[in-house]
Amino acid sequence: MRLPALMLAALVAIALLMQSFAASAREAPAGFSDLAERLLPSVVNISTTQTIKNPERAPEMPQFPPGSPFEDFFKEFLDRQMRPDSAPRRATSLGSGFVIDAAGYVVTNNHVIADADEITVTLHDDSVYTATLVGRDTKTDLALLKIDPGKKPLVAVGFGNSDVARVGDWVLAIGNPFGLGGTVTAGIVSARARDINAGPYDDFLQTDASINRGNSGGPMFNMAGEVIGINTAIFSPSGGSIGIGFAIPSSLARPVIDDLKKFGKTRRGWLGVRIQSLDQELAETMGLTESHGALVASVNDGSPAATAGIKAGDVILKFDGKEVGEMRKLPRIVAETPVNKSVPVELWRDGKRMNLNVAVGEMLDEQPEQAKAAEKPQPSPSGHVVAGTGLSVAPLTPQLRDRFGLDEETQGLVVIDVKDGPAAEKGMKPGDVITEAGHKAVRSTADLTKMIDQARATGQKFLLLRIETTQAPRYVALPLAEAKKK
């Protein structure tokens, strides 16, 4: 029986389509031996030595009754402990790294070589070299080393594009776990864009390829033999692998390593703002339908943001054409922007979108924070109780400035006490200073009460407060519960 021509053509098309799907499917490899054999020579072991001096401070002696024989015994024991008759101790640590340039450049984690007096690199063939530090970046936990291989040929590997790696892709991790030497483990990409609070630019790849102590600084390869991550951290209550490891993505590492190689330091873009997350309640108070973007809590004087006209209370939606879906993405986007480049910024202000251009500056080393004045025990004034909020506030006085360590430039209402209620749920604490309510300056208790009453009268569920804290300014969407009538 012959099939009609139309049906036959359809069957052929389906067969070709199924072949196409089969060709594009990412099947499990038959083995990793060929790939491992090719990549192992590029991975190195890194060992460091550090001199640790004897502690200068003795442990406290237990208290005994006067004249007790134990008093003399422990005194003699502690005296012996403090004698400078033993040499400083030398500590060693082990980690991993990989060659990215046949000229002798080696990438590793900064925490592997931090505070090291000597750094030694051991190649796969057991040849040993003393390394020098080219540069380090503490914010991303990356370091670049240099060895002099002479005429010895080195096997270098290149960075791949971690942005195209998908959850479920096979990866290969090579390193020096527990000092055992070159060890290969395989797994998959378990998750992307993990924030583990390791630094301001967290964007880790998560993998179940076994990573243990000593793997830090080693490469994570894709099936093409490209480095798409630098193994950096593990999550483990026991200290061993439980299948949750984290790697710095190559898209973040590559520009950092390039800067370290060229300048010996990183050159990051700088905007000059403090930002905070935008939750649904804050978004609602600002007239936004979605909690996307980064809320500007404050702007540094003389910064690129200030020059461009960005203000506290703005919500940055796009930077250089890139969506700021959540707050923590903005620092990385800005940091990766070339210094002195003029870029468009789309933001939300006063209920509407607007666009500005900003010339990106260069981030310099942060200055140490100045110590605040110590709190002095003083009688706590009762303050003005703001009905329905749990807040007790008071105008700033010299005594209150001294008590909470506030400078003369700070203006507003200081929080004296916080009871159970909406303010406590938002994390407000004594010593916070309310500077604005509903985008208007607050200088007296009457100002704050008026703004709350107006917001309640118009049916608002929240009142936007700008507060100065001991860490940094931030915005709070204060829920407006009805005040209880007496």
Residue 468, Cα to own-chain centre: how many angstroms? 23
- pLDDT tens string 323-342: 998 888 899 899 989 999 99
Of 252, 282, 300, the position where a domain reaches its end is 252
188 and 238 within one domain: yes
* Within a domain: 372: no
CA pair distance 286, 56, nearest whole angstrom: 56
CB-based burial of residue 176 (10 Å sphere; 0-12 exposed, 13-18 middle, 19+ buried)?
Answer: buried
Averaged pLDDT of the chain: 82
472 and 392 within one domain: yes
Of 190, 224, 252, the position where a domain reaches its end is 252
Q: Which amino acid is at 188?
A: I
CA pair distance 387, 461, nearest whole angstrom: 15
Backbone CA torsion sign across 383, 384, 388, 389: negative
291 and 225 within one domain: no
Q: Which residues make beta-bridge pairs with 233?
A: 246
Backbone CA torsion sign across 73, 75, 79, 81: positive
248 and 294 within one domain: no
* Within a domain: 81: no
**What is the pLDDT, as a whole number, of residue 150?**
86
DSSP label at 484? P
Pure H helices in 286-411 = 304-308, 329-335, 398-404
399 and 330 within one domain: no
Residue ranges for the binding site? 111, 141, 214-216
CA pair distance 462, 286, nearest whole angstrom: 10
223 and 193 within one domain: yes
- pLDDT tens string 344-386: 999 999 889 999 999 999 988 653 333 333 333 444 456 788 8
Is the pTM higher than 0.75? The answer reads no
274 and 248 within one domain: no
Q: What is the mean pLDDT of residues 163-180?
A: 91
248 and 174 within one domain: yes
**What is the pLDDT, as a whole number, of residue 222?**
95
* Within a domain: 145: no
* Within a domain: 83: no
* Within a domain: 431: yes
333 and 411 within one domain: no
**What is the pLDDT, as a whole number, of residue 192?**
92
465 and 403 within one domain: yes
CATH code, domain with 475: 2.30.42.10
* Within a domain: 244: yes
Collapsing DSSP to helix, strand or coil, 18 comes out as helix
Structural domain count of the chain = 3
Residues with catalytic function: 111, 141, 216
351 and 394 within one domain: no
- pLDDT tens string 393-418: 888 888 888 888 888 788 888 998 88
Domain limits for position 411? 384-479
DSSP label at 42? G
Residue ranges for the binding site for substrate? 111, 141, 214-216
CATH code, domain with 232: 2.40.10.10
* Within a domain: 425: yes
Query: Regarding predicted confidence, which is higher, 302 or 77?
Result: 302
**What is the pLDDT, as a whole number, of residue 369?**
34
On the CB side of 320, CA atoms within 13 Å amount to: 20
* Within a domain: 150: no
Of 224, 252, 280, the position where a domain reaches its end is 252
**What is the pLDDT, as a whole number, of residue 446?**
85
349 and 291 within one domain: yes
**What is the pLDDT, as a whole number, of residue 230?**
95
- pLDDT tens string 180-234: 888 999 999 999 988 887 777 888 999 999 988 889 999 999 999 999 999 998 8
